[in-house]
Amino acid sequence: EDQVTQSPEALRLQEGESSSLNCSYTVSGLRGLFWYRQDPGKGPEFLFTLYSAGEEKEKERLKATLTKKESFLHITAPKPEDSATYLCAVQANSGYALNFGKGTSLLVTP
Amino acid sequence: ETGVTQTPRHLVMGMTNKKSLKCEQHLGHNAMYWYKQSAKKPLELMFVYNFKEQTENNSVPSRFSPECPNSSHLFLHLHTLQPEDSALYLCASSQDGGTSGRAVTETQYFGPGTRLLVL
């Protein structure tokens, strides 16, 4: 059975304090791994798709990396507006449904 | 309007009421999804429609009834709900839900959700 585990559940950073969020997964053939950002009371906003181990993608202060067992979302010099819940999801070769983790709630304080 | 829209944004209903949630996508996609998001739980896939045909029902109780009249619109009809059904209901769309036969990874784009409270 496909599983996605995100850690930590919650993370508090000071503005400018870089850190990483983890997404560990088990899937029977990975088609893609997705990162989304979700603000309170809103729908998830797409950030990145990673397809194969070794792949990296960047967007502003965010950088996502992928290995055969986990993905990291690195946040460099975060700002308060980066505060949100970050969701990881995997899509298996066997289908198109997304299997989500519970998310990491990030709070960046000034 | 752009992207995926959902109405209403907030809904309070009694256990004996009947209501409907509406989703519309303006992305030219052919697959649409309903998800349920409860506190402290991962997003749960409820239903999938590809080209207006339901292709997945994730063991959802019959008090939830989906309808997809065309590739741009998706409804979720609600009746005799329970308090534990209170949650954020999210609609999403993607290009073709994998039905093209191509081994492609499809990104799903989400709407803002409907916050449902069942009293």
pLDDT (tens digit per residue) in B43-93: 999 998 888 788 777 789 999 999 999 989 999 999 999 999 999 999 999
| Structure confidence at residue B105 as a pLDDT band (50, 70, 90) | low
Q: What is the pLDDT of residue B98?
A: 58
Cα distance from A76 to chain B (closest Cα, Å)? 25
Q: Is A96 on the interface with B (CB under 8 A)?
A: yes
d(CA B22, CA A53): 38
Distance CA A2, CA A99 (A): 7
**Closest of A71, A85, A58 to residue A30, by C-alpha:** A71
Contacts of B56 in chain A (CB under 8 A): 97
Tens of pLDDT, residue by residue over A63-84, are 999 999 999 999 999 999 999 9
Distance CA B93, CA B107 (A): 8
Beta-strand pair A30-38/A45-50: antiparallel
pLDDT at B1: 57
Which residues from chain B sit within 8 angstroms of residue A43, using beta carbons? 4, 6, 90, 92, 110-113
CA dist., res. A108 & res. A64, Å (int): 19
Quote the pLDDT of residue A5.
97
pLDDT in tens, A16-57: 999 999 999 998 888 899 999 999 989 999 999 999 999 999
The minimal CB distance from B112 to the residues A42, A51, A97 is found for A42
Please tell me which of the candidates A43, A46, A101 has its beta carbon nearest to residue B107.
A46
- Across the interface, whether the CB atoms of A96 and B103 are under 8 A apart is answered no
Query: What confidence tier does B97 reach under pLDDT thresholds 50, 70, 90?
Result: low
Q: Give the C-alpha separation, A22 to A48, whole Å.
A: 14
Distance CA A60, CA A43 (A): 21
Pull the structure tokens for residue B40: 């402290």
For tokens 């799903």, the residue is B108
Q: A3 to each of A14, B39, B118, how far by Cα in Å?
A: 31, 19, 30
- What's the rounded Cα separation, in Å, for the pair B114 and A10? 25
Phi, psi of A80 (to 5 degrees): -55, -35
- Window 30-69 of B: residues touching A by CB (8 A cutoff) are 31, 40-43, 45, 48, 56
